[in-house]
A and B are shown apart, each in its own frame.
Chain A
């Protein structure tokens, strides 16, 4: 009766079913659903935007989804904290624990229940937001250019700021020009920040070139040209009166470049129509990526117009079609769901170790540390670390930040508002870290504790 994979699946399913029933029959969960419904249905109407389609999108994608996700994070974490702890505290676990169920089956069953519930709730929230958006688009008659999009975004191929900082450090060291009284880490940090902010100065009459590596666009028919956009994120004041010629070509084929004259630099996205064959013909690089070159020539009058300054690591992007916005919304939901899966696993393991109040306290504390940890790590300076009290705080923040960085790397809402496609590798990484590796670690720890713990009523 206890051997066999199918029997094990039935036990796991039984545990999951109980947790789902418990959730569906408690008032707290009903209250949560009402709160989420209010958040999706009412919040976008109450928060006043600037009236532009962009503003409305911002409210829907950032505030509504962000707020709903925040609520779901906390509720998932607390629900997970309760799943073992409450059952052990109120002695209901005794009846289940004497049955032939492995600790892993208990853990997995409860985790899967949370995953299913989260998937359902997230799907409803995202569907609600999508519906709101479609309704607003129709009601207000948004222009094609205002509608939300999903595009691949590529930055120029360059060494990362970190690599560049390391190189610059070596150069300084060889020249014996390192600043005195600064640690290596501090110097590297400064150099990295500088590399990140580096810019090209393009004087009238001059030209710059950047190399890009592009993916094959999604959902483009062979016969139609591909639309490619270059996005310049410049200071508004420097955009005025700038004129130029922008050209895009497959690397090594400058003769087949597509050129666009620019006389209105205030529009920061420049559209090109590129022959689809540019992405498909000839040899392609690793992973189906293709090298393209973008050249920008400043054609303004040197007497009247100033130079154009562009931080090439941040301000220049090449965008290609990346499927529908709806599909991107679904991908964002998947990334958020993966974070919830991670929180569920984390909460469950705390729940296996501690009583409910302790588990919930520890979980909330660590969540708060994760949220502030990253900003603390960004903000600390050399001086902050001199004091002992500060140093302990910084170490904890660094530890938490390092541990949670892989899980938090994908920023689905930022991508959505910027109209950037959440790429498969981002999704894959989120799934691997948040739904496989880290939960597996938590599961192992949780099961270890469950097997060793006395599950009779403890007071």
Chain B
């Protein structure tokens, strides 16, 4: 089958079998995977532990060589230098050089893109401010907390202003504020046309930011599609009414039941713990005034507060 070069990522029958020292097959990590990620999309790769998500990502980046199948990233093979210059990658574990400071780390990675000193310095300061590490920018990364290191990792993935951003569990190790910020960042980047491929175990995170998802299990693609379409219950409908007391709600439910001739369930949605946490922290005056602040006004998808929900 011919591959469409307009797709940012395209794989056909992608396979990876790990071999042991004697070249005997040990694990079939990915089995014939067909995947398409389109320009400007936020694509979520989901799956239980060991389902082959990281393996797939490493093959897309040329860190592992496929056992079989074809793949194209930004229309080129993974080892293509021009394609590499347009990709940003945050691995599962940040793997930073512990003796470097965040500033040196970012300048080092900027130099690998062939940036001049001036360009690199400018980009570094922007990114340090963005991930809120300007104060810690002269301390060695090796002594950083998990979340701080993760922020440096994220910053280095953005150093070349990539067209394709590959994030392997970007929110792991981050506090709820950090998670929220990463999700907001992903949304903002997507708006500017950046294509994002991310994996996460936190399904809520994926639900919040991804346009499309694929679910891998045992190296096999089990489901793929738009989140709204995948999650939609075709024969159910839900109303949200704010400001009703219990009595009025009960009478409305009964009326609906009579009208529809079906059972109507009634519940009281709680706000998400994330929203609650963010509110508490904001009250304590600890909300970080992030470089992303101008964009934070827009509520993240799926975040509803208060009110009564009725589902039929």
Could you tell me if A94 and B97 are in contact, using CB atoms closer than 8 angstroms?
no
**Residue in B81, B89, B99 whose beta carbon sits within 8 Å of that of A2 in the complex:** B81
The smallest C-beta distance from B152 to any residue of chain A, in angstroms, reads 11
**B91: which A residues are within 8 A, CB to CB?**
91, 94-95
Could you tell me if A1 and B99 are in contact, using CB atoms closer than 8 angstroms?
no
Could you tell me if A456 and B64 are in contact, using CB atoms closer than 8 angstroms?
yes
Q: Encode A1-12 as 1/0 by CB contact (under 8 A) with B.
A: 110101110110
* Residue of A13, A100, A102 with most partner-chain B CB within 10 A: A100
**Residue in B61, B89, B93, B111 whose beta carbon sits within 8 Å of that of A13 in the complex:** B111
Cα of A50 to Cα of B58 in the assembled complex, Å: 66
B interface majority secondary structure: loop
User: Considering only CB atoms and an 8 Å cut-off, how many residues of chain B contact the other chain?
Assistant: 32
Cα of A455 to Cα of B89 in the assembled complex, Å: 14
Cα of A102 to Cα of B82 in the assembled complex, Å: 11
User: Considering only CB atoms and an 8 Å cut-off, how many residues of chain A contact the other chain?
Assistant: 33
Q: Is B310 an interface residue (CB 8 A)?
A: no
Could you tell me if A455 and B63 are in contact, using CB atoms closer than 8 angstroms?
yes
Q: Is A15 an interface residue (CB 8 A)?
A: yes
**Residue in B63, B84, B89 whose beta carbon sits within 8 Å of that of A100 in the complex:** B84
Q: Encode A207-249 as 1/0 by CB contact (under 8 A) with B.
A: 0000000000000000000000000000000000000000000
Could you tell me if B84 and A21 are in contact, using CB atoms closer than 8 angstroms?
no
Could you tell me if A1 and B113 are in contact, using CB atoms closer than 8 angstroms?
yes
Q: Is B144 an interface residue (CB 8 A)?
A: no
Cα of A442 to Cα of B61 in the assembled complex, Å: 27
Could you tell me if A17 and B111 are in contact, using CB atoms closer than 8 angstroms?
yes
Given A21-B99, A92-B97, CB of A1 within 8 Å of CB of B114: yes
Could you tell me if B111 and A4 are in contact, using CB atoms closer than 8 angstroms?
no
Cα of A401 to Cα of B99 in the assembled complex, Å: 40
Q: Is B171 an interface residue (CB 8 A)?
A: no
Could you tell me if B114 and A100 are in contact, using CB atoms closer than 8 angstroms?
yes
**Residue in A10, A95, A98, A455 whose beta carbon sits within 8 Å of that of B115 in the complex:** A10
Cα of A14 to Cα of B79 in the assembled complex, Å: 20
Could you tell me if B85 and A98 are in contact, using CB atoms closer than 8 angstroms?
no
**Residue in B58, B95, B113 whose beta carbon sits within 8 Å of that of A99 in the complex:** B113
Give residues in A with beta carbon < 8 Å to B.
1-2, 4, 6-8, 10-11, 13-15, 17-18, 21-22, 25-26, 90-92, 94-102, 451, 454-456
Query: 19 other contacts beyond A1-B85, A7-B114, with CB at 8 A cut-off?
Result: A1-B160, A2-B113, A2-B114, A6-B114, A8-B114, A10-B115, A14-B108, A14-B111, A18-B108, A90-B95, A91-B93, A91-B95, A94-B58, A95-B89, A98-B63, A99-B112, A100-B82, A100-B85, A102-B81
